Amino acid sequence: MMDRLSKRGFFFMKGLILSFGIAIGLILIASVLLTYTNLQESKMHIINTIIMTMSISIGGIYVATKVDEKGWLNGGIIGGSYFLIILLINLIFIRPFIFDIYIVGKFIASLAAGIIGGTIGINLK
């Protein structure tokens, strides 16, 4: 039983690392585009949301293909964990926590992206 739990935890960690790696890569590309093209800075909010949902979905797909059960739940856990880590980083480095509709919307989007990714991943097996 413990071996199974440790494998699941390993795959969750790899899924989160994959999600953050993809997000960092896409954010770097977006910042280069912002610097060297006429892309408006006001569009970065939407681009960041797209990057977040894509990276969470890919992490959810990865975890669901490795765990082989309850893809929606495992993907949702990836989405929720990703959001909580981003929130924690935000609290440490940027600003105090303000609970508003924006935070709730990001959390729901994170969960939905993870659930969709997990569902896709379990159906790819």
Q: Is the pLDDT of residue 23 over 90?
A: yes
Q: Rounded to 10 degrees, what is the CA torsion of 91, 92, 96, 98?
A: 0
Q: Is the pLDDT of residue 112 over 90?
A: yes
Helix (H, G, I), strand (E, B) or coil at 5: helix
Q: Which amino acid is at 98?
A: I
Q: Where are the domains of the chain?
A: 2-124
- Tell me which of 16 and 9 has the higher pLDDT: 16
Residue 117 burial (C-beta neighbours within 10 Å; 0-12, 13-18, 19+): buried
Distances (CA, A) of 32 to 28, 44, 96: 6, 12, 29
Residue 109 phi, psi (nearest 5): -65, -40
40-94 pLDDT, tens digit each: 888 888 999 999 999 999 999 999 999 878 889 999 999 999 999 999 998 888 8
Angle 90-107-39 from CA coordinates, rounded to 5°: 65
Mean pLDDT estimate for the chain: 90
Query: Model confidence at 4, in pLDDT bands (50, 70, 90)?
Result: low
The pLDDT assigned to 95 comes to 73
Helices (H), the chain: 2-36, 44-67, 71-93, 101-124
The pLDDT assigned to 2 comes to 54
